[in-house]
Structure 1
């Protein structure tokens, strides 16, 4: 029996709501399903303002525009992350200053951030890897000290918390993903979260192609026109309708994924205790949202062997990011610092199958094969 790495989960209402959207005669963006999804996040997590986007990358690009990144501005980003965390700011002219991870945790090592700050530093981008929170109190303390903005890359962090506070609610801005590999999906899709009120007005304009169209439809102006830069960042109602079906079942989906995560952890702990690999670390200040289950092998060779062994048994396991500071695009622009922990995760981390319809028997089989 083949076990895929990922399998998109359908609640059963997606096509029903898409049908409603199609026959509502409003299938472009910012219709009723868009508004319902945005209101859901504002009500459940206390975000000040939410705007659906066509991807998390788009949400991050909006952040780069909103933070007014100019040529030569510096942005601190962990090297162990997806390219969008950096690319969104590079497109606006930023120089990326890459930070290392913790030795036992792929998240940004906050003890290294302050030494990377210069007069040109404008933004810090903490990435909540696997939905596990970065140390946001320390990051915000540093940001406030140096008058730097914080953009939370919460692509993987829906319904996860830092000291009881929802991830995405702590930085000035945040971005979420609804890509088909995430807990809550719409195929492609994302969300911009605005926690600093002074960004709200401009965010609506950027979202609507640089126009004040949103004000016009609220009756606040008698006509709308081109007033700023922007793009077509908002998704169609068809995407929002799909997403709404998922959000209605958020609690059910989250409970199942966390149960699967705990099943992996308990079954693999004896192997980890023998030194076969390391298991994920969830700090006391963070929660786990069941997004990814990974192990950290002792070497690149052991990781290759483990992935091959699982593949030979029809089990989809994959590695994750390559260190961005060593990427073909950025290697000549990096300042030459070694980032050994990022490189260790790039070489040694393996992601195991994780999706809603996975079951305990599947996990038992995976773990037995890993134990051979």
Structure 2
């Protein structure tokens, strides 16, 4: 069966991992960690980048860094991965869900202001499929109400909004290097991008179990000690070595994914023009990273028929998030403000096609032919 995803392999990963093993230093913040962090900072013009074990860990760090407390409120879309909400619920916060836009599947920026209360501390825009949220609008709201902005850019590495890298626009950005993303640290991995200089020192402390160990290694203190709350949010250097191979080839990976994305769009556009399906929308302010190619069927039943058709042709395709506000935990830890006009309806229509760096032209052609045969 043609899989939905395979982790990218560029060919240099094993050699770099062997170098890390031979160095005798496999824990975090060694040579490959530093290379990756410096690459991200230079490429995306970020004040400070810290590699983490996952985007989940990065989001948890963000909640600690912003000192989120019980009864604080955090605004986000319901159409997102559970980690976006969990990170703040772990600190006792109440999650306030608002509707998404039908075109981008991102948070509807026009619905945010009505959800802001005296308890609101942060807005968490999620850049779905690597397509940016309307960040100028969101940042203006945050400034007006003195709120933090934490970008969940798990899917947004190498995407931009008005020329600026996703993850660098808010106070904090969170990346994922999971095996399902464009670039991976050997299966799991993440990064937290600190865009407010005033948060950098505390970020290092939180990441190092609540200690000033980073300052100790830089020779700024003669011994390190427990300073505040924290946890072990450091990626191993062995994983960073794998990631370094991918970051070196980031443009190559991006270019190949773009070819595959465009192939799908060109082949299926006629069915969108005849209103049989919906295709991804990318605003003129956004340059996306071809993280995902999805289509929208008229309804959930049609999606199930299409999924069954593709499975019969040995092609695995998949839907995406179940909106958090209808989940048991979402009902317990959050509330939905305003009307759910798009979140449930659009999530029920969406299905994702195979798209990964090592997907061959021949295999993609089979996927396209199978999809076209369903709609033709």
**TM-score, normalised with respect to structure 2:** 0.97
Q: 1:344 matched to which residue of 2?
A: 345
Cα distance in 2 for residues equivalent to 1:322 and 1:346: 7
Contact 2:97 2:336 in 1 (8 A): no
Instruction: Provide, for residues 107-158 of structure 1, a one-character-per-residue CA deviation record: whole Å limited to 9, x for no partner.
Output: 0000000010001100000000000000000000000000000000000001
Name the residue aligned to 2:125. 126
Post-superposition CA distance 1:147-195 (Å, at most 9, x none): 0000000000010000111111100001000000000011100000000
Residue of structure 1 equivalent to 2:30 = 31
Unaligned runs of 5+ in 2: none
Q: Does 1:194 align with 2:203?
A: no
Q: Map of 1:1-372 to 2, 5 A cutoff? A: 2-186=1-185, 187-335=187-335, 337=337, 338-372=339-373
- 1:278 partner SS: coil
TM-superposed deviation, 1:362: 2.7
**Relative to 1, partners in 2 of residues 1:332 and 1:60: Cα closer, same or farther, differing over 3 Å?**
closer
Considering only aligned residues, what root-mean-square deviation do their CA atoms show, in Å?
1.0
SS at match of 2:168: coil
State the alpha-carbon separation in 2 of the partners of residues 94 and 332 from structure 1: 12
- Partner secondary structure for residue 331 of structure 2: coil
Taking the aligned partners of 1:36 and 1:249, their CA distance within structure 2 comes to 14
Query: Does structure 2 retain, via aligned residues, the 8 Å contact 1:315–1:366?
Result: yes
- Structure 1 contact 258–288 (Cα < 8 Å) conserved: no
Separation in structure 2 between the aligned mates of residue 143 and residue 20 of structure 1, nearest angstrom: 45
Q: Residues of 2 paired with 1:344 and 1:178: CA distance?
A: 29
Q: What TM-score comes out, normalization by structure 1 length?
A: 0.98
Q: 9-18 or 289-298, which moves further after superposition?
A: 9-18
Contact 1:80 1:345 (C-alpha < 8 Å) held by counterparts: no
The DSSP-based 3-state class of the residue aligned with 1:331 is helix
* CA displacement at 1:26 relative to structure 2: 0.6
Decide whether the 8 Å contact of 1:64 with 1:92 is kept in 2.
Answer: yes
> Per the alignment, in what secondary structure is the counterpart of residue 193 of structure 1?
strand
- Please tell me whether the aligned partners of residues 97 and 325 of structure 2 are also in contact (alpha carbons under 8 angstroms): yes
Shift of 1:303: 0.5
Q: Confirm or deny: 8 A CA contact 1:263 1:360 kept in the other structure.
A: no
CA positional deviation for 1:336 = 5.5
Deviation at 1:93, TM superposition (A): 0.6
Deviation digits for residues 188-216 of structure 1, max 9, x if unmatched? 00000000001000000001000101111
- Report the count of equivalent residues: 371
* Segments of 4+ moved more than 3 angstroms: 332-338
Higher mean alpha-carbon deviation, 324-333 vs 304-313, is at 324-333
Q: Structure 1 residues 276 and 361, CA, compared in 2 at 3 Å: closer, same or farther?
A: farther
Shift of 1:103: 2.1
C-alpha distance in structure 2 between counterparts of 1:363 and 1:78, whole Å: 32
Q: Distance in 2 between matches of 1:360 and 1:136?
A: 35
> Which deviates more from structure 2 when the two are superposed, residues 199-208 or residues 341-350?
341-350
1:231-269 deviation digits (Å, cap 9, x = unpaired): 010011110000001001000000000111011001000
CA distance in 1, matches of 2:148, 2:290: 29
